[in-house]
Chain A
Amino acid sequence: MDPGRGGCVIDALIDVFLLGLLVIVAVAVGQSRNLLVAVMLTGIYSLLSASWMLVLDAPDVAYTEAAVGAGVSTVLMLGTLALTTREEKPGPALEPVPLVVALITGLVLLYGTLDMPAFGDPASPVHQHVAPHYLQRSGEEMGIQNIITSVLASYRGYDTLGETSVVLTAAVGVFALLGGRRRRGAPVPEAEAP
């Protein structure tokens, strides 16, 4: 189980490096007042998390995050900025009430992590239920090498079906909101609440 002391040190260094960058970028997203900069930083954040997923043995999730999280969402956000504005209204750097709420929630979550199984523990409950079956049997039951694909497309095919229906719903919603409204007139407030 022990990959060797040298491997451990390098793994730890990569972990510290990527996680440190993630925290820095996340804070920078919050603090930047230029929305274009913030969107670019979000793309970097997605790419960094994809790199960390690769370290965590999840290449398929990393591909998806890099393509969809860093690619598609960044393009969507840039499109939104082109249609709206690039500058955020200036305001206080730190809002006290949200800060306190976030700190308290964070402390509760940190307290919760103490009950979680240790990182990489093979005896953790996550690994006990269906995963051993997939790992041992999916090769002969599905006949493909990539276990993740077997689980995604077959064992948990209904999840993927649900996912596609969510994507369809979102697409219908986007077209309902934006379709056929290409007029560029004066921004007349149409639905003023009485």
Chain B
Amino acid sequence: MDVVAHWNHWVVVVLMMTGFYVIMARSNLVKKILGLNVLQAAVILMYVTMGKVEGGTAAIYLEDPHAAHHGEAEHGDGHEDDEHHDDGGHHDAPQAHATRPVTYSNPVPHVLMLTAIVVGVATTALGLALVVRIHEAFGTIEEDDLLDLEEGGG
């Protein structure tokens, strides 16, 4: 059991369970949605954690490996005379760095989580719309009061 290898995962599990607890324990519907958001962000963090490669950098081709700290999308930084212009015509641009390999983190979990964030906001919006409607119809957003209303009405 290696602490260094897993403690990121453990903190993320603690975050997940905090959100899970808020969903179950709180009777207020807005609070439940907040708990859902906390849980969802923790799951996203778990996936992004899996994409990390030791010593890697963001999955954006570097023109110059030595500019790794802030050279994301800069075009041909310090390499104007080279044929490193990625406009599709030069088929050797990625391989040109094969002699000086750059480690990139895995882009696939990142892409999946981009989708998940947007879908999460869509579900949040739908949930909040339901909360607004419930408040319009019953005058409360506390689950306990809603259950009482239901029993009193029946």
Q: With A and B bound together, what is the CA distance between A140 and B108 in angstroms? A: 18
Say yes or no: is A10 at the interface (Cβ < 8 Å to chain B): no
CB nearest to A132 among chain B residues: B106
A59-B58, A144-B86, A193-B150 given; A22·B121 CB < 8 A: no
Which A residues are in CB contact (< 8 Å) with B56?
A: 57, 120, 122
**CB proximity of B80 to chain A, nearest CB, Å:** 16
Q: With A and B bound together, what is the CA distance between A94 and B153 in angstroms? A: 30
> Which residues from 113 to 155 on chain A have a C-beta closer than 8 Å to any C-beta of chain B?
113-114, 116, 118-122, 124, 126-127, 130-131, 134-137, 139-140, 142-148, 151-152
CB nearest to A191 among chain B residues: B137
A118-B2, A156-B111, A181-B136 given; A98·B123 CB < 8 A: no
Chain A window 42-76, contacts with chain B (Cβ cutoff 8 Å), 1 for yes, 0 for no: 10011001001100111111001100110011001
A1-B103, A170-B126 given; A56·B26 CB < 8 A: no
Say yes or no: is B67 at the interface (Cβ < 8 Å to chain A): no
Q: Which of A106, A118, A177 contacts B133 (CB 8 A)?
A: A177
Instruction: Contact check, A137 vs B22: say whether CB atoms are below 8 A apart.
Output: no
Chain B window 104-140, contacts with chain A (Cβ cutoff 8 Å), 1 for yes, 0 for no: 1111111111110111111111101111110111110
Instruction: Contact check, A193 vs B110: say whether CB atoms are below 8 A apart.
Output: no
Instruction: Contact check, B94 vs A139: say whether CB atoms are below 8 A apart.
Output: yes
Q: What is the interface of chain A mostly: helix, strand, loop, or mixed?
A: helix
Q: What is the interface of chain B mostly: helix, strand, loop, or mixed?
A: helix
Instruction: Contact check, B28 vs A89: say whether CB atoms are below 8 A apart.
Output: yes
Q: With A and B bound together, what is the CA distance between A46 and B60 in angstroms? A: 24
Instruction: Contact check, B51 vs A46: say whether CB atoms are below 8 A apart.
Output: no
Instruction: Contact check, A23 vs B18: say whether CB atoms are below 8 A apart.
Output: yes
Q: Which of B14, B118, B149, B150 contacts A64 (CB 8 A)?
A: B118
Instruction: Contact check, A84 vs B132: say whether CB atoms are below 8 A apart.
Output: yes
Q: With A and B bound together, what is the CA distance between A97 and B144 in angstroms? A: 16
Say yes or no: is B91 at the interface (Cβ < 8 Å to chain A): yes
Instruction: Contact check, B104 vs A167: say whether CB atoms are below 8 A apart.
Output: no
Chain A window 84-114, contacts with chain B (Cβ cutoff 8 Å), 1 for yes, 0 for no: 1100110100110111011101100110011
Instruction: Contact check, B17 vs A103: say whether CB atoms are below 8 A apart.
Output: yes
CB<8 Å pairs between A and B, sample of 17: A26-B19, A35-B28, A45-B41, A56-B49, A56-B105, A57-B53, A65-B41, A84-B30, A84-B135, A114-B6, A119-B9, A122-B54, A126-B51, A126-B106, A134-B108, A147-B59, A193-B153
Please give the residue numbers on chain A whose beta carbons come within 8 Å of chain B beta carbons, in ascending order.
1-3, 15, 19, 22-23, 26-27, 29-30, 35, 38-39, 42, 45-46, 49, 52-53, 56-61, 64-65, 68-69, 72-73, 76-77, 79-81, 83-85, 88-89, 91, 94-95, 97-99, 101-103, 105-106, 109-110, 113-114, 116, 118-122, 124, 126-127, 130-131, 134-137, 139-140, 142-148, 151-152, 156, 159-160, 162-163, 166-167, 169-171, 173-174, 177-178, 181, 187, 189-194
